[in-house]
Structure 1
């Protein structure tokens, strides 16, 4: 690949064979180089491929204006998240998380406090991502000497969830509220407090995460297994009635019709959680 523009000594932009612009990072990769020169493969540490030229331009602006150590620590956190979750993340997280971390550090230095109203929900519904957030604030303290509050672990977790589900922050907040309210319906219906550490509870929450994502992003599921739906309603009548309450709540709040098959699966997960 050939250099298109030199951003600084450690970051350049380059053009791929199809003409798309990418960002390339490597220690000293831009030093003494000129546009048009070939980039040695040995100098490349990280390549950023974003989903639009607009986002490439945004990222370049961040790279020019942000301290290199903020960019590096953000990249390290994202790489750690990918390895822990063992799944890909939307590349735009390199923009959103880097910008957030830079602003969080700025707020800390200005002694500005910013609480996270959904911290408890994040800890409960996004356990893996929250642990990554805790790792992130510990890494920031080691690398930059700034001790961010636990609220920031929650905010960082939210950015990771956004990148997992390929959703906007507003959608992730809606998904979180939907999960919280659905769990609340089950608790109230059965007058129970489920064990949040149990495997069946975590399976229920995971199921709700994907259901909530489909609802918020307006994706529809086909429903054709009539025998399965009837069987579940007969085997678990109370759990099925509870799932119908959830179905009504989702229709009233999000104007989304949960299919009979999805309603039956909710009943199965509720039954498991009650065991």
Structure 2
């Protein structure tokens, strides 16, 4: 953008959040900055290089924006400040460019979390143990983020909430939406229950076989959701040699397909069968 270019303000969401449009291209942007909404009220425009703009990114997903909009109407500047510190910490701790959506997703999540904690509302995370095992590095970063939130707002952030913060950390670097991560966790837990019922197997939480299977199911779901193909050169061998496990894997694949609305490739089915074969021989 040229320095002198003006952005047309479409809507002031709050004192710190503005929706604006670039006149030459018609592209829409979300602008974040302390007091920026108050400053542009009534003016109708803002310079593209205005120093009050702390964050700017394209508004490509209106449906997702609508999920955050109501929470950001009364956006607390303190939330914005601590969110920015956490995002900087995530960026310094993990490689790769962060997904811009974290600049909306994280502060809106923190604002709601602080509200719940201050009002004595319980935060229950049924996926906490699975999250710790699946994303250990991200959980460690989320724990540091929880310390920042606790110090800034004088609240105690429980482990259950750290688990939810972990999703935001992982989503920022993997580009997998938080909602998709939650859905995948729910499906994985359901699949693990079916596997235990099928063979009357009790998983030892945190055991190598349990973690390996759990991670494979999660990553398999992510690949299917994102239409990422995987090669499996052992398909024919697995079908013949692991017939019982292959049959169960097919049924699990059917459950996955029903839950996510996408077909489960044969390559994924056979990898699941291979992990089942290994699991049953280490737990019996």
Q: What TM-score, normalized to structure 1?
A: 0.71
Distance 1:108 1:219 in 2: 38
8 Å CA contact 2:203–2:210 kept in 1: the answer is no
1:67 is aligned, of 71, 76, 93, to: 76
Shift of 1:46: 2.0
Q: Tell me the SS of whatever aligns to 1:15.
A: strand
1:1-275 aligned at under 5 Å gives the runs: 1-5=5-9, 12-16=18-22, 17-26=24-33, 34-40=43-49, 44-53=53-62, 62-87=71-96, 91-160=100-169, 164=174, 166-167=176-177, 169=179, 171-183=180-192, 189=199, 191=201, 193=203, 196=206, 198=208, 204-214=213-223, 217=225, 219=227, 228-233=234-239, 237-238=241-242, 241-252=244-255, 254-255=257-258, 258-269=264-275
Distance 2:67 2:38 in 1: 23
1:10–1:87 CA distance, 2 compared to 1 (3 A): same
Distance 1:9 1:125 in 2: 38
1:131–1:206 CA distance, 2 compared to 1 (3 A): same
CA RMSD of aligned residues (A): 4.1
8 Å CA contact 2:72–2:108 kept in 1: the answer is no
Q: What TM-score, normalized to structure 2?
A: 0.70
1:3–1:209 CA distance, 2 compared to 1 (3 A): same
Shift of 1:138: 0.9
Distance 2:170 2:108 in 1: 16
Distance 2:183 2:69 in 1: 30
Distance 2:177 2:248 in 1: 27
Shift of 1:105: 0.8
Q: Tell me the SS of whatever aligns to 2:47.
A: coil
Deviations 1:62-85 (A, max 9, x none): 444121111232343344445544
Shift of 1:233: 4.5
Q: Tell me the SS of whatever aligns to 1:114.
A: coil
Is there any run of 5+ residues in structure 1 with no aligned partner, and where? Answer: none
